[in-house]
Structure 1
């Protein structure tokens, strides 16, 4: 059997023997004698070294004819780690695949969005993931379906649609091929299938520890969109509108399981895969603390901050358009002021939710609604109104696609081409909304002051200093922004 060139097979086996949770999701073990693949934390008896082969993704194992372990459940493993910095095109492609780019679109179309050819995309996928883009997309659909089958009461037809299958027949065939059981047989065999008594869907999303839940929740809570988002106690809640579905979701922490618990309640066909992808991005669940420690731990400025942070994550955005609007509203005003302005925009332009509970009353306005709205009398300057309407019109027309581009530079260039969006705002949107880990708003006053120990550095000086933090400059920025002793130095717009 072929082994993967980027994996040290002996090191993987030592991690398997030690059940080292830090490697969960970084590789999978294929057991030749059983033809089953497992996570490195699987509680089953450790197979002999000669019976193991290690691959970098579940898709690679599936492509070699291995079946998913029903005990350790590979669908529950943390997502592909953000080694993304070393081959960023793979990371950007995975984000688009998770949002359904290959459910109906082609590999060629996906490659074009990433600024490369289909053959080149195929090569980098095989090199880093051990499988081609279509195989990865198929595997991700399958693993989401498996999780919905075993953890929810969603009807199997709903599972197929939610996981991104284009027909019930393809869904049934894929499940039977992968697990040697029909979907209904898998559900009957699952201990979790009857755990949920309501129509809501509850799922667990794993991460690599440590995870500084309190820091992320505090950051999001201070910037929650009135009526749309809420942080109460240790729970994050929000409304959503995605595809033909509207509803609410609730996220809480399960540290003993190294996972977040997500509860989704909605009307219409639930788009579970893109909802899960957005929650993962919002809480940066695919971050790799070990890679960050290796890259930043020895830096005299960032290293001590990283050590104290205990699992830093970059709080992302559930909906990129929301974050872009929020970033424009936050230019040159305080966090509280930006929240107030956002609340006024939501009240005037948003849609009343068909329910009202827990303070969640509105759906955020669509790009089309905001482009056509009268924003006078809300306390916004003429320039700010022009910037908001320009962004909204571009998004509504499809000329501005708030999704990962071919590169960070490409994403920033697309944004600064819009009126009222400069380099700072573009990098901030790229960092939080597009999940670009190397985005770095070097002109930010807070960053320049924090990096200078109270002395404001020139932006050019900070840019040169930040070269040592690539490809994780975004994490360095967050650490500089959120250190408790430096809170007063944080940019008012951040």
Structure 2
């Protein structure tokens, strides 16, 4: 139940079309049966005709359909309604990446070490819907985005979005949107030119502030030209998901609080997962206003804070782990040299310009003698890759059992993978130096945003 103060804030935000609130709530209009983002350009409805919802799935379940003008499916994802529930956050993150599309709720729950009954209870408590309903909503929203922004065949869109049959997709889409996918496509084709490019082009939104110059600087200093390119306003790289491979480029559009993303893939069934990864790599879903206000409660760190500082992430946990191990007890430049060598020696060719970051199997089977580092560290790299093959990256804390991996490496992997907002490598030399310089003594008060605090400390030096 929304409080009076929250409703007043929502009212002010929608009337101001404040982009900082995009994705944190949705506005349902009783007279039209449509729900919108708070930044919708349509004339603002009267307050008595409006209802507010914390998530788009809640508005959908209340019987409202998404606006075709502001397109709620493109709003930044929000985790405000998750509270501090770590299990629920993990479940939602996996579902957003499509993990529930090809498996049962029971198997999905067991893979997380909980019962499906407990998971349903969490979803009902925090979101007001079941996990299955939430997953179906995400499928529909992604399909709608593809209908709007691509010219992919409707049959392909159905399967890419995670539906098991075209009939089920059509029925579900029509029941929610009040028109069929083909009717929506025909309506859109009258309004816009057909897209000629073979690549998928999507617009991914974020909530301001977003200081691209800080993100660009971080990425440029660590750019690995064999797999990625960093320019003044764009970031692009190759990637792999299971056996499929692809490349994306993301060009920032500050005027629209979004990135124009172009994706090439050899297996479009992985597009939902790829989009989820891209959002995490560019840290598009974070609510920085909440994060910065929380960190600013510490009067000592407040002068250090840079507004709009995002958390640049690697493609996945494995890549973060390899970079962390190669970066142990060496400079950023030396770590770059080691990583570039690993890509050059072990990575597969993507095209004439790029390679792919090596897989765990390639490192396990590879000859690491080319690396100019202690044999013990090469063994740690091999053991980490073997661990990843055995666990698929689950139970990250168990890497502490690997010889050569300690708390710094563990926390650094959590931070650079973008999987944990509260990672804190307290033994990091940069962190220690900044904390001494600014007389910072109590890092616990920065919870649950210590990953962002760490990045702020690094940038302060």
Give the alignment's TM-score, normalised by structure 1: 0.87
2:93 aligned to 92, 95, 108, which one? 95
Distance 1:241 1:129, change over 3 A: same
Match in the other structure for 2:282: 283
Matching residue of 1:339:
336
Find 1:416's aligned residue among 397, 400, 406: 400
Tell me by how many angstroms 1:147 deviates.
Answer: 0.7
Q: 1:432 to 1:334 in 2, by over 3 A?
A: same
Check if 1:155 corresponds to 2:139: no
Q: Does the 8 Å contact 1:431/1:474 carry over to 2?
A: yes
Query: Who is 2:312 aligned against?
Result: 315
Quote the Cα distance in structure 1 between the aligned partners of 2:264 and 2:140: 22
- 1:314/1:434 CA distance change after superposition, 3 Å: closer
> What residue number does 2:459 align with?
482
- Partner SS, residue 315 of structure 1: coil
CA distance in 1, matches of 2:140, 2:101: 12
Query: What is the CA distance between 1:291 and its match in structure 2?
Result: 0.7
For 2:234, the equivalent position in structure 1 comes to 235
Query: What residue in structure 1 maps to residue 424 of structure 2?
Result: 440
Q: 1:72 aligns with which of 64, 70, 73?
A: 70
CA distance in 2, matches of 1:382, 1:30: 61
Helix, strand or coil at the partner of 1:42: coil
Runs of 4+ in 1 over 6 A off after TM superposition: none
| CA distances 1:107-139 after superposition (whole Å, capped 9, x unpaired) | 334444444433333233233333222211111
CA distance in 1, matches of 2:5, 2:132: 22
Distance 1:152 1:208 in 2: 24
- Provide closer, same or farther for how the CA distance between residues 402 and 213 of structure 1 changes in structure 2, counting only shifts above 3 A: farther
Residue in structure 2 matched with residue 356 of structure 1 by the alignment: 352
| 8 A Cα contact 2:311 2:418, kept in partner | no
Deviations 1:362-383 (A, max 9, x none): 1122111211111113213211
Q: Does 1:402 align with 2:402?
A: no
Verify the 8 A CA contact 1:7 1:54 in the aligned structure 2. no
1:28 matches 2:12: no
Residue number in structure 2 paired with 1:472: 449
Distance 2:37 2:128 in 1: 16
Unpaired runs of 5+ residues, structure 2, are: none
Match of residue 50 from structure 2: 52
- Cα deviation, residue 8, structure 1: 3.0
1:38 corresponding residue in structure 2: 36
TM-score by length of 2: 0.93
Deviation track 1:136-179 (CA, whole Å, cap 9, x = no partner) reads: 11111111111111111122222122212222222222222222
- For 1:179, the equivalent position in structure 2 comes to 177
**Counterpart contact for 2:208–2:257, Cα < 8 Å:** yes
Separation in 1 of the partners of 2:373 and 2:160?
40
Moved more, 246-255 or 39-48: 39-48
In 2, distance between residues paired with 1:345 and 1:240? 15
Structure 2 residue aligned with 1:459: none
Paired position in structure 2 for 1:490: none
- Whether the 8 Å CA contact 2:20–2:209 is kept in 1: the answer is no
Aligned residues: 460
Per-residue deviation, residues 25-74 of structure 1 (Å, max 9, x unmatched): 11112222222211111122323333322111111112222211111100
RMSD: 2.2
Q: Report the equivalent of 1:225.
A: 224
Q: Which residue of 1 aligns with 2:365?
A: 372
Report the equivalent of 2:262.
263
